[in-house]
C-alpha cells in the first residue's frame, strides 16, 4: 500500500514539475500550463502579477494591466502565448488550474559576436551570451568548436576559431546551450612600408636627392619597345591618326557641297538666270472634214400641186 502511495506521489510531482522554455527577443513563445482543461478557474501569473484569469462562472475573463498581459493571450483553453518576447518577460510563470499550481521558467537568450560574426584573421573579438531569467547560482560559459572551454574573449583570431561556438548554462538542474556560427576571413591587409630616406649626392652643381637603396638593380627596357612603348601602341596611334585625317577630308567635302548649293539657291532667288518659256509642239495639218451624219432617212420629194378643176 505504501509503495502505491509513493508511486502516485512521484507521478504527481513529475507531472507538476517546472518546465524551462528557451526563446530569443522578438520571437513568439508558448507556455503550456500542465493540464489540458480545467473545471472552475484558470489563472496565469508572471511572478506575483496576474496576467489572465478565466472562470466558468464569469463570461468575461479578467486581464492584468502590465505590458506582458496586453502582449499575451490564453489559447487552447490553458496555453499562454506571448506574441513578441522581450527581455523583461523572462522569469517565473505560474499557472493555477482549479487551485493546482504549475511553475515554469522562461529564459530569453541573446548570443552575438562583436564587432560581427564574420571576423578578420589576426583581429580582436568578443563573444557575448546574455541569458535573462536564470537563477542566481547559474553560470554561463563558452565552448570552442572543438569542445574545449573558452572565456569568449579572442585576442587574436585564427583559422581554428571558425565554426560553431556554444553558450552553455544550467537552470533547475537541467543543462542548456545556444549556438553561434563564427566565420573567419583572411588576414588584415598590412599598410605599405614607408619609402626609403633620401640623401644628397656629394658632388655636382646641384644637390640631387636619390634613394639610399644599396641593392637596387636597373633593368634596360625590352628590345621590342620603341621609345618606351610597345608596337601595338604605335599601331593604335597610327590607326587613330588615319581616322582623324579621313574625318577631316569628309568634313571639307561636305562644306564645299553646301557652299555650292547655297550659291545656286541665291542665284535663283535674285533672278540672274531667268526662266525660259517652254516651246510646245504645234501641228500645221488641215482640219479634217466633218463626217456626215449617218442613220438619217432621206426625205421624199413633195407631190406637185394639182391643176384647178375645169368648169363643166
pLDDT tens-digit profile of 43-72?
Answer: 999 999 999 999 877 767 888 989 999 999
**pLDDT at residue 163 is higher than 90:** yes
Identify the band that residue 26 occupies on the pLDDT scale cut at 50, 70 and 90. Answer: very high
CATH of the domain at 134: 2.60.40.10
Note the pLDDT of residue 38: 87
pLDDT of residue 13: 40
Please indicate, yes or no, if residue 276 is contained in any of the structural domains: no
Q: Are residues 21 and 105 in the same domain?
A: yes
Question: Model confidence at 108, in pLDDT bands (50, 70, 90)?
Answer: very high
Strands 19-23 and 100-114: parallel
pLDDT tens readout for residues 187-229: 655 555 566 666 655 555 554 555 555 555 555 555 556 666 7
Average pLDDT estimate for 89-118: 92
Answer whether residue 295 shows pLDDT above 70.
Answer: no
Q: What percent of the chain has pLDDT over 90?
A: 44
Q: Is residue 120 part of a domain?
A: yes
Are residue 114 and residue 174 in the same domain, yes or no? yes
Q: For residues 65 and 80, state if they share a domain.
A: yes
Question: What pLDDT sits at residue 36?
Answer: 85
Task: Say if residue 79 is in the same domain as residue 156.
Answer: no
Residues 94 and 151 in one domain: no
73 part of a folded domain: yes
Q: What is the mean pLDDT of the chain?
A: 78
Least confident of 123-137, 150-164, 235-249, 285-299: 285-299
What's 294's DSSP letter? -
State how far the Cα of 173 lies from the Cα of 159, in Å rounded to an integer. Answer: 35
Q: Based on the domain organization, do 73 and 88 belong to the same domain? A: yes
- The yes-or-no verdict on residue 27 having pLDDT over 90 is yes
Within-domain flag for 160: yes
d(CA 312, CA 309): 9
pLDDT tens for each residue of 226-283: 666 777 788 888 899 999 999 999 999 999 989 888 888 888 877 655 545 555 555 5
Same domain for 94 and 124, yes or no, is no
Question: Domain check: are 80 and 114 in the same one?
Answer: no
Give mean pLDDT, residues 287-302.
55
Q: Which of 109, 131, 166 is the last residue of a domain?
A: 109
Is 223 part of any domain? no
Does 72 reside within a domain? yes
**DSSP readout, 72-100?**
EEEETTTEEEESS--GGG-EEEEEEETTE
φ, ψ for residue 13 (rounded to 5)? -65, -40
Range of the domain at 62: 17-109
Q: Residues 37, 78: contact at Cβ < 8 Å?
A: yes
The pLDDT of residue 15: 42
Please indicate, yes or no, whether residues 104 and 164 belong to a single structural domain of this protein.
Answer: no
Instruction: Estimate the share of the chain in helix, then strand, then coil, as percent rounded to the nearest 5.
Output: 20, 35, 45
Cell of 52: 489572465
Tally of structural domains, the chain: 2
156 and 92, same domain (yes or no): no
Looking at the fold, whether 116 and 100 belong to one and the same domain comes out as: no
Answer yes or no: is 5 within a domain. no
∠ Cα 98 101 106 (to 5°):
130
Could you give the CA distance from residue 34 to residue 77 in angstroms, rounded to a whole number? Answer: 12
137 or 112, greater pLDDT: 112
- Please say which residue of 164, 187, 210 terminates a domain: 187
- Is the pLDDT score of 105 beyond 90? yes
Partners of 119 in the beta sheet? 184
Provide the pLDDT for residue 179.
94
Q: Is there a single domain that holds both residue 88 and residue 31?
A: yes
Look at 79-93, 129-143, 202-216, 237-251 and tell me which has the smallest mean pLDDT.
202-216
CA 307 centroid distance within chain: 135
The three cell numbers of residue 300 are 421624199
* Confidence category of residue 310, pLDDT binned at 50, 70, 90: very low
Q: Which residues contact 232 (CB under 8 A, 6 or more apart)?
A: none
Strands (E), the chain: 19-23, 29-31, 41-46, 49-55, 62-63, 72-75, 79-82, 91-97, 100-114, 118-121, 125-132, 140-143, 149-150, 153-154, 163-171, 174-187, 198-200, 209-211
Q: Which of the pair, 222 or 94, is modelled with greater confidence?
A: 94
Q: Is 131 domain-assigned?
A: yes
Q: Which of 109, 127, 158 is the last residue of a domain?
A: 109
Amino acid at each position: 500500500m505504501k509503495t502505491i502511495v509513493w508511486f502516485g506521489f512521484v507521478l504527481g510531482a513529475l507531472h507538476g514539475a517546472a518546465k524551462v522554455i528557451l526563446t530569443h527577443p522578438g520571437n513568439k513563445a508558448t507556455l503550456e500550463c500542465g493540464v489540458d482543461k480545467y473545471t472552475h478557474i484558470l489563472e496565469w501569473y508572471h511572478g506575483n502579477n496576474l496576467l489572465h484569469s478565466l472562470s466558468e462562472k464569469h463570461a468575461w475573463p479578467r486581464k492584468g494591466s502590465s505590458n506582458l498581459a496586453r502582449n499575451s493571450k490564453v489559447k487552447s483553453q490553458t496555453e499562454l502565448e506571448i506574441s513578441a518576447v522581450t527581455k523583461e518577460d523572462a522569469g517565473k510563470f505560474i499557472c493555477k488550474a482549479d487551485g493546482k499550481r504549475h511553475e515554469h521558467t522562461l529564459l530569453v537568450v541573446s548570443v552575438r559576436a562583436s564587432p560581427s560574426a564574420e571576423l578578420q584573421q589576426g583581429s580582436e573579438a568578443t563573444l557575448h551570451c546574455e541569458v535573462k531569467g536564470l537563477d542566481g547560482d547559474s553560470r554561463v560559459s563558452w565552448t570552442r568548436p572543438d569542445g574545449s572551454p573558452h572565456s569568449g574573449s579572442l585576442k587574436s583570431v585564427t583559422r581554428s576559431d571558425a565554426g560553431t561556438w556554444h553558450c552553455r548554462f544550467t537552470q533547475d538542474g537541467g543543462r542548456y546551450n545556444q549556438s553561434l556560427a563564427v566565420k573567419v576571413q583572411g588576414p588584415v591587409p598590412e599598410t605599405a612600408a614607408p619609402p626609403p630616406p633620401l640623401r644628397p649626392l656629394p658632388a655636382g652643381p646641384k644637390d640631387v636627392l636619390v634613394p639610399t637603396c644599396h641593392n637596387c638593380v636597373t633593368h634596360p627596357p625590352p628590345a621590342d619597345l620603341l621609345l618606351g612603348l610597345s608596337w601595338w601602341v604605335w599601331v593604335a596611334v597610327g590607326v587613330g591618326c588615319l581616322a582623324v585625317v579621313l574625318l577631316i577630308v569628309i568634313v571639307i567635302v561636305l562644306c564645299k557641297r553646301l557652299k555650292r548649293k547655297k550659291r545656286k539657291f541665291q542665284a535663283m532667288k535674285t533672278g540672274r538666270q531667268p526662266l525660259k518659256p517652254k516651246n510646245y509642239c504645234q501641228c500645221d495639218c488641215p482640219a479634217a472634214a466633218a463626217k456626215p451624219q449617218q442613220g438619217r432617212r432621206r426625205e421624199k420629194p413633195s407631190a406637185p400641186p394639182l391643176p384647178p378643176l375645169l368648169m363643166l
